[in-house]
Structure formats: C-alpha cells, structure tokens
Amino acid sequence: MPGTVDTAALTAWVREFGRLIAAEKDRLTELDSAIGDADHGVNLDRGMTAVLAMLAGDAPQTPADMLKRTGMTLVGKVGGASGPLYGTAFLRMAAAAGGADALDPAGFAKVLRAGLDGVVARGKPVAGDKTMYDALAPAVDALDEALTAGRPFGEALRATVRAAEQGRDATIPMVARKGRASYLGERSAGHLDPGATSVTLLIAAAATTLNGD
C-alpha cells in the first residue's frame, strides 16, 4: 500500500543511506578535515558497510528488529562522536517502532522524531551548535508540519529534504559549540558541518525510498 513503511521499506531506506555514504565518503571526510579530524566519511562508511552486510545476511523480520540491529551495528563499528549519535538515533527509532509490522506516514514521523530525541539525549546539541542536529531537527519538524497539513507522504518527504538541506547549509557561518570542531572556536566558521551533511543524506534516502508515489 502506498505510504506504508514496512520492514522492507525501512531496509531499502537504510541500504540507500549506505549507498549514499559510500558515494560521498571522500567528501564527508574532506569536510571533517577542515574542522575536525578527517574521519567522518570513513567512520560512517565502515559502519554502513557492516550494516549492509548484516542486512544481506539474516533479513530482519520487523521494523523494530531492523532499526535495532542497524543501531547496534553502528554503535559497534563507527568510532568517534558520530557512532554513538547515529547508533542511539536508530536504537531510539527501534523503540518507537514498538511491535508494529508497518508504520503509516505519521508513525514514521514519530519514529524519526524519536531518533532526533536520541541524538539530543546523547550529544546535548541545541540549535546553532553546528552539528547534525541543525539539519535533522528542521527536517523532523518539516515532516510533522507537512503531514499535519494533509500533504501526501511523497510531497511531505520532499519538504523534509528541503528543510534538511537548508539546515545543513545554515551550519556554514556557525561557530561550533559541540564536538571536535568546537576546539577551533571562531575558526570553525565558514565550513559546512560534516554531520549535518551526512544526516541530510539519511533524509534524502528516506525521500527516494519511502516516497509512496
């Protein structure tokens, strides 16, 4: 059924995220070399390669199982700040999916917000800290707003991508207040945040795989 997000759809989402991370690995690492330690793309690609291998091996049976195994793999394989952040996001998404066999668009929006709450619980970012939060939070808000306004799921997801992209681009002038980039102080301004860039790929992957069109 269009707009139904079941285990297969969520698997397609995560696989597409892995594909985008592999394709953008060098660029993400380059962004991290400007204001961090040049490992963001490598970190995430290591984790997502392990996630894709896990998914290819023993296919998860429920949304929660799929999201939980993704989160645990990321926590185990991705080092740095982003491993626990992405890992916690997926583990919180799993908990929010509960025992459901499939989610409707509003259910997916709730799951995504739980992921954002996980990032907040783990990293304590607030708006303007120049982190993945600055792209993910506006995206989650945009999805809720679009669905509440009665927009079809595909359209709502496209609005979500635009909000993530705007949030990502808005990190350029920000001075980092969290993570390694914060050690640079004012010198962190003028660069895209790597985590805001990778999380925008997560949202873009949702729009291409869950669109319901």
Residues of this chain that bind ligand ADP (CB under 6 A): 32, 36-37, 39-40, 43, 80-82, 85, 119, 123-125, 131-133, 178-180, 193-196
- Point out which span in 27-35, 68-76, 86-94, 184-192 binds Mg ion (CB under 5 A): 27-35
CB of 156 to ligand ADP, least distance (A): 25
- Output the residue with the shortest Cβ distance to ligand ADP: 195
CB of 84 to Mg ion, least distance (A): 13
Tell me how far apart the alpha carbons of residues 192 and 155 are, in angstroms, rounded to a whole number: 27
Binding-site member from 36, 60, 138, 195 for Mg ion (CB under 5 A): 36
Tell me how far apart the alpha carbons of residues 35 and 182 are, in angstroms, rounded to a whole number: 8
What ranges in the chain are assigned the alpha helix state H?
7-35, 40-57, 63-77, 82-97, 105-123, 133-148, 153-169, 194-209
Residue 193 touching Mg ion (CB under 5 A): no
Residue 37 touching Mg ion (CB under 5 A): yes
CB of 171 to Mg ion, least distance (A): 15
SS3 call for 65: helix
Query: Could you tell me if 122 and 84 are in contact, meaning their C-beta atoms sit under 8 angstroms apart?
Result: yes
Cβ neighbour number for residue 58 with a 10 Å cutoff:
9
CB of 80 to ligand ADP, least distance (A): 3
Partner from ligand ADP, Mg ion, none contacting 84, C-beta within 5 to 8 A by type:
none
Give the closest residue to 195 by CA, choosing from 138, 132, 102: 132
Residue 125 touching Mg ion (CB under 5 A): no
